[in-house]
Structure 1
Amino acid sequence: MKIKSIIAVLLVTAGCLSNATAQQIFRISQYQQHNFLYNPAASGADDNASVGALYRKQWAGIEGGPETFVVYGDTYFEKKKVGVSAFVYNDKTGPTSRTGGQIGLSYSVYLNGKKDQRLMLGLGGSFFQYKIDKNYLTDGDPIAQNDPSIMNAADSKITGDAAVGVYYRSSTLNIGISADQLIQSGLSLYKNTNATQDAQLYRHYFAIASYNWQTDPDNVLIPNAMLKYLPNSPIDFEGGVKLLHKDFLWLGINYHYQQSYSIYAGVKIAKKLEIGYAYDQFSTPLSVFSDGGDANEISLRYYFKK
């Protein structure tokens, strides 16, 4: 185990905590195509049922860098005006990992009697298991092996929480606001006879917006942005623009404020199967590490269209 790698991961993770990304809720670069992962009100917003998977490896050249795997699906029941979504995930950073899932429900209110212009209200319920790999922390380190704050900590904790959101969907403007980890459940990983040190989930707020600008019959420009806020931390912002050609090919660029730049691309085969890829290049301090300051993200999604 490389000590410098561990130190780098811990320092950058601390930096992420101060910038409200927090790593409590996984981050993906292709957020604009996966709104319901952050807002239960967007469940079924694409009308057609779909299933998909996403894998992200961040800071690939640094041991213990964040690694995320998500499997998801959603659908919309038009007669009931109800959308349903579900996803499970595993999110790992260094010695810690989260494995869990969420079920989201949305209800649509049609505006002006039009299905393609509606206000969606959503609720979500989640569960997860938080784990600490003590062997990762103590391997070859006699000081860590005798540290009571490590050895007395529980190996894992299972808990649950909730989310709520509002989402406006139309053929051009799509915008949503949501709050996750509303209950702020406790983790209580460390307890002994002399003291109790409790960790907890923190409430996260998201705002995601995009606009479809039809520049000509074949091309659509889609400016998009995401704001994330965690109380007592600065607002975190990322945004960019995506070019969609004939509902078949897309290219996009994004900027994550003071953290990274992203480029992404994908294809939609037979208007059913989406294959996407995103590459992130992180700024300092990660950029000083050889092959350390980047991330790779691959996504697959299948739509059940007639």
Structure 2
Amino acid sequence: MKSIKYIISCTLLLITLSIHGQQDPLYTQYNYNMNVINPAYAGSKGVLSVGILGRSQWVGIEGSPRTLTLAAHSPVGKNVGLGLSVIADRVGPVRETNIFGDFSFTIVTSENSRLALGLKAGVTSLQVNTLTANNNNDPLNVPIDRTAPNFGTGAYFYTDKFYAGFSIPNLLKTRYLEKSAGVVSTASEEMHYFITSGYVFDIYEDLKLKPSTMIRGVKNAPLSVDISANLLWQEKFEFGLSYRFNKSFSGVIGFLLNEDMRIGYSYDQSVGNFGNFNFGSHELMLLIDFNRRNLKSPRFF
């Protein structure tokens, strides 16, 4: 019985670490949170922007992902943008904290378009809690706490109506765990590739359509493709739908609390049989764009 329990504990831990090592946190409201994945986005809004986002994924499944994100960025001078992002992610026994600073430099390509290039640098801290705390003889009953540096890069082209970006937020493949007490446990941060794009269509004077997409690639995992379409009414109320291919459908709603502050909520429902085992994913966002009212051409992404 003891050996069976040990094998099950090892298997659960390795599966969790394997999944976690291949996946960065998912976001449904990525349009308002892009400097987390692309450092070139820093400063592109023309004002100081601060956002807080909390996500609870696959509610009802024990140990499912929980993510809290704080992101801020601002232009500094004429062509430079600076940003900071803190991501606290928990999946089962694994706690991961990322703290990154962003730098961007913007090139004026025409009267109405800009190309920004960005760099990201910071640290990732990984902590693993034991699964067998009541068994002092279990070799897995050893706390794991590792910290490693990482770097990222990105490019972001935008106008008042359109944007397109490409980024790799983690250039270094970091190996966190090694062989210990005869048990091989590995978790590594794989390179993620992000492609994002979107456009703002003026349907009527007070109604805008905002289609967007995000494609994410990582080694040993299928491409993740998000397609979204949001309607913005009177530049205050926003609602839309999103589809993550073969994974989930999402509904999004948001509104301005005042001229500078926006709140948003999204609900994801998993497709296929997996949807029968959880109560969906919930995401709540608060975004503050300071002095947005003073912008001559307000941004809608």
Alignment partner of 1:118 is 2:101: no
User: What is the TM-score of this pair, normalised by structure 2?
Assistant: 0.86
- Alpha carbons of 1:100 and 1:232: their partners in 2 closer, same or farther (altered >3 Å)? closer
CA contact (8 A) 1:203 1:231 kept: yes
Deviation at 1:186, TM superposition (A): 2.1
3-state DSSP class of the match of 1:232?
A: coil
Alignment partner of 1:160 is 2:156: no
Question: Which of the numbers 122, 128, 132 marks the counterpart of 2:128?
Answer: 132
Instruction: Give the number of equivalent residue pairs.
Output: 282
The residue number in structure 1 matching 2:202 is: 214
- After TM superposition, the structure 1 stretch with the greater mean CA deviation from structure 2, 182-191 or 262-271, is 182-191
CA contact (8 A) 2:84 2:99 kept: yes
The residue number in structure 2 matching 1:265 is: 253
Alignment partner of 1:184 is 2:183: no
Question: Which of the numbers 145, 151, 174 marks the counterpart of 2:141?
Answer: 151
The residue number in structure 1 matching 2:282 is: 296
Alignment partner of 1:43 is 2:42: yes
The residue number in structure 2 matching 1:99 is: 97
- Alpha carbons of 1:251 and 1:78: their partners in 2 closer, same or farther (altered >3 Å)? farther
- What are the within-5 Å matches in structure 2 for residues 26-37 of structure 1? 26-37=25-36
* Percent identity for Structure 1 against Structure 2: 27
| CA deviation map 1:71-130 (0-9, x unaligned) | 111101242x11111111210011111012111111000012x2x410000000021210
The residue number in structure 2 matching 1:250 is: 238
- Alpha carbons of 1:184 and 1:172: their partners in 2 closer, same or farther (altered >3 Å)? same
Output the amino acid matched with 1:246. Answer: Q
Output the amino acid matched with 1:298. Answer: L
- What are the within-5 Å matches in structure 2 for residues 23-102 of structure 1? 23=23, 25-79=24-78, 81-102=79-100
CA distance in 2 between counterparts of 1:277 and 1:104 reads 26
CA distance in 2 between counterparts of 1:21 and 1:99 reads 13
The residue number in structure 1 matching 2:22 is: 22
- After TM superposition, the structure 1 stretch with the greater mean CA deviation from structure 2, 181-190 or 233-242, is 181-190
CA distance in 2 between counterparts of 1:118 and 1:224 reads 19
Deviation at 1:138, TM superposition (A): 1.4
Output the amino acid matched with 2:94. Answer: T
3-state DSSP class of the match of 1:188?
A: coil
Output the amino acid matched with 1:51. Answer: V
CA contact (8 A) 1:21 1:228 kept: no
CA contact (8 A) 1:281 1:295 kept: yes
3-state DSSP class of the match of 1:288?
A: helix
User: What is the TM-score of this pair, normalised by structure 1?
Assistant: 0.85
Deviation at 1:198, TM superposition (A): 4.4
Alignment partner of 1:281 is 2:279: no
Deviation at 1:147, TM superposition (A): 4.6
CA distance in 2 between counterparts of 1:146 and 1:34 reads 45
Deviation at 1:160, TM superposition (A): 1.3
CA contact (8 A) 1:177 1:207 kept: yes
The residue number in structure 2 matching 1:241 is: 229
CA contact (8 A) 2:22 2:189 kept: no
Deviation at 1:26, TM superposition (A): 1.0
Structure 1 unmatched runs, 5+: none
CA distance in 2 between counterparts of 1:63 and 1:183 reads 31
3-state DSSP class of the match of 1:138?
A: coil
CA contact (8 A) 1:51 1:72 kept: yes
Deviation at 1:249, TM superposition (A): 0.8
CA distance in 1 between counterparts of 2:113 and 2:88 reads 35
Output the amino acid matched with 1:159. Answer: A
| CA deviation map 1:271-304 (0-9, x unaligned) | 2001000001112343222xx2401110001111
Deviation at 1:21, TM superposition (A): 9.5
CA contact (8 A) 1:247 1:271 kept: no
Structure 2 unmatched runs, 5+: 295-301
- Alpha carbons of 1:21 and 1:234: their partners in 2 closer, same or farther (altered >3 Å)? farther
Output the amino acid matched with 1:102. Answer: F
CA contact (8 A) 2:132 2:141 kept: no
CA contact (8 A) 1:71 1:87 kept: yes
CA contact (8 A) 2:21 2:188 kept: no
